[in-house]
Amino acid sequence: MAQRVAVNDAAGVKRTSRVRVAVRLRPYIGKEDEKGEGPCVRGLGPQTLEIINWRNATETLQYQFDVFHGEQTTQQEVFLSSVKPITPHILNGQNASVFAYGPTGAGKTHTMLGSQEHPGVIPRAVREVFQLVRIQERDQDEWQFSVGMSYLEIYNEKVLDLLSPSSQDLPIREDKDKNIVIPGLTHTPLSSFSDFDAHFVPASLNRTTASTKLNQRSSRSHAILLIKVVKSQRIPPHRQQTGKLYLVDLAGSEDNRRTGNQGIRLKESGAINLSLFTLSKVVDSLNAGAAGRVPYRDSKLTRLLQDSLGGSAHSVMITNIAPEYKFYFDTFTALNFAAKSKHIVNRPFVRETVMAPVNGKRAREEQEAGGSGEPQ
Ligand code: ADP
Ligand code: MG
């Protein structure tokens, strides 16, 4: 007896379908800055940053978001601010989604997956879900919980099961209760965090290995982890609620035409990331509160997330950006997508001192010539 959760919560308050937008600036990386130009973006406050205006270097562009995470922000802080608050809803039959958006190299995988020493949103969120389940089961007898995972990838508008790598493109369907389902997708029951790790880590490694062989595939596909929590009543009427949490490491938002994927003709490059393009339209239309149709059906990713993005779902988008000049246009595009507001300020962008080579051009030539070439 599945129960659908209404848009109004228990207090009768109508929740908005806005997608919260956070921006995370990763630390400056010297080797990403061959010309030794220093950063072109910097934080100004907990919601604002500025970027140099390339049209006029005497100006900066200032942007405002729901949250700005500066380069010093830790993995724990990102989790606490953007993800932890939405996890309890999963135990109450509600849906949620967390995305990392931004150009390749800006920190999406660091944010979502992280490393052994600095675990990201995914391991922290899964731990949190198990912890909440344990507390609920300890404190009340009426409900029991079961947790499970699926892990998939959308590549070239194909839905691929990462827990069953030989599987083919899977269909996305809507059931009679308007839940989005993927028949045939592997669902693995999980008993603990270490159980999750045992299934997730090898599947992630599969994906990374494949990506180097397949020409940076990981930067052009969306990796989607689904954590499902089913809450069942032990006594009649045996109600059941299902909550879904999607944790998504999106494809790189860089413009494939400009970054020159040589093998791909201009006409085709537009279709490389139909899902990413449609996602931005969906988020825009949700955040504009427009009465019109939200174009979920225009791509696989948004169709898949239809019941977990907007509506009564809790959604957060973490836009990752990089401070070096070589990312300038991709940063600019990502910020324009993420911003609540933007204005031009008439003041030069003060260059910070960086550990740059005396002569950036020479360092680059040395590098090209096969020398050590690292800026000193
Ligand atoms: P993306 O997944 O967007 O392509 P990555 O997460 O792989 O980007 O990040 C690119 C590089 O920058 C990696 O070496 C990563 O470890 C590093 N990096 C990204 N974000 C941070 C951060 N907040 N702090 C430290 N290093 C970071
Ligand atoms: Mg990545």
Token duo for residue 187:
């669902």
63 to each of 45, 56, 67, 68, how far by Cα in Å?
10, 17, 11, 10
Query: Which ligand minimizes its atom distance to the CA of 32?
Result: 1
Q: What is the pLDDT of residues 220-279, one digit of tens each?
A: 889 999 999 999 999 999 999 999 999 999 999 887 665 555 555 444 455 568 899 999
Would you state the pLDDT for residue 284? 87
Residue 26 beta carbon below 6 angstroms from any ligand 1 atom: yes
Q: Does pLDDT of 57 surpass 70?
A: yes
Of 227, 241, 224, residue with least CA distance to 196: 227
Residue 85 beta carbon below 6 angstroms from any ligand 1 atom: no
Which ligand 1 atom lies nearest to the CA of residue 29? 12
Is the sign of the CA dihedral 111, 112, 115, 116 positive or negative? positive
Would you state the pLDDT for residue 218? 67
Q: What is the pLDDT of residues 130-152, one digit of tens each?
A: 999 999 999 999 999 999 999 99
For the chain, the average pLDDT equals 84
Q: For the chain, what's the residue count?
A: 376
Would you state the pLDDT for residue 67? 95
Write the ipTM: 0.99
Separation of CA 26 and ligand 1 centre (Å): 7
Which ligand 1 atom lies nearest to the CA of residue 103? 3
Counting ligand 1 atoms within 8 A of each CB, the residue from 26, 118, 212, 222 with the most, and so the one to mutate, is 26
The rounded distance, in Å, linking the Cα atoms of 39 and 51 is 9
Q: H helices within 288-341, ranges in order?
A: 300-304, 328-338
